[in-house]
């Protein structure tokens, strides 16, 4: 199963990219790094630069149709950059329109807010994002992992890097279940 990992060219929290990526590989899936431009993305350990990762695909050149699901890693800057890119926002929205599962951790729900897909959904995030989620019509909960089945697709959210083990297990279970049901 091909899984899109969407990041901005700069600002993704490295562990929130690499742990879900490795979990996908370990489960025999094909993770694909999608960004807003070709080249590499610069990851961070909080505010310090970390490793760089090669972009596989660029938004605008790919469709949600070619992926089983979407993972949105966090980092404070990453979702803020993504929400300002119309093609990235449209790419995220397309997963919801096509009924594909989406997983987001930490600050990543900011991109979901921008895509106007949180209304009527329950989700979790880094605590500072809760007001934005509520203002966008979602219900914020303080849980390690929240799986929301809105009827059109499933959304898996998590709060922070400490929740990564549970997040990875949950998103892989949901993506595999949703793919088997198609």
168 catalytic residue (yes or no): no
Per-residue pLDDT of the chain (182 residues; tens, 9 = 90+): 999 999 999 999 999 999 999 999 999 999 999 999 999 999 999 999 999 999 999 999 999 999 999 999 999 999 999 999 999 999 999 999 999 999 999 999 999 999 999 999 999 999 999 999 999 999 999 999 999 998 889 999 999 999 999 999 999 999 999 988 76
H or E element at residue 24: helix 14-26
Number of domains in the chain: 1
CA 22 from chain centre, in angstroms, equals: 15
Residues 29, 106, 148, 168: which is the catalytic one? 106
Under 8 Å between Cβ of 170 and 153 = no
Residues 29, 38, 45, 107: which is the catalytic one? 107
Pairing, β 145-149 against β 154-158: antiparallel
Full domain range(s) for residue 90? 2-180
107 catalytic residue (yes or no): yes
CATH number at residue 100: 3.40.50.880
Query: pTM for this one?
Result: 0.98
For residue 129, give both structure tokens: 């994002």
């Amino acid at each position: 199963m091909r899984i899109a990992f969407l990041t901005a060219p700069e600002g993704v929290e490295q562990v929130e990219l690499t742990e879900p990526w490795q979990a996908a590989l370990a489960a025999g899936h094909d993770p694909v790094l999608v960004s807003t431009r070709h080249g590499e993305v610069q990851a961070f350990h909080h505010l310090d630069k970390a490793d760089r990762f090669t972009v596989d695909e660029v938004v605008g050149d790919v469709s949600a149709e070619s992926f089983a699901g979407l993972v949105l890693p966090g980092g404070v800057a990453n979702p803020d950059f993504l929400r300002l890119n119309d093609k990235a926002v449209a790419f995220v929205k397309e997963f919801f329109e096509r009924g594909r599962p989406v997983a987001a951790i930490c600050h990543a729900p900011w991109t979901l807010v921008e895509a106007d897909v949180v209304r009527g959904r329950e989700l979790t995030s880094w605590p500072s994002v809760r007001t934005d989620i509520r203002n966008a019509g979602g219900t914020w909960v303080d849980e390690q992992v929240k799986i929301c089945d809105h009827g059109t697709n499933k959304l898996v959210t998590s709060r922070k890097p400490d929740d990564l083990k549970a997040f990875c297990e949950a998103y892989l279970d949901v993506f595999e279940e949703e793919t088997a049901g198609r």
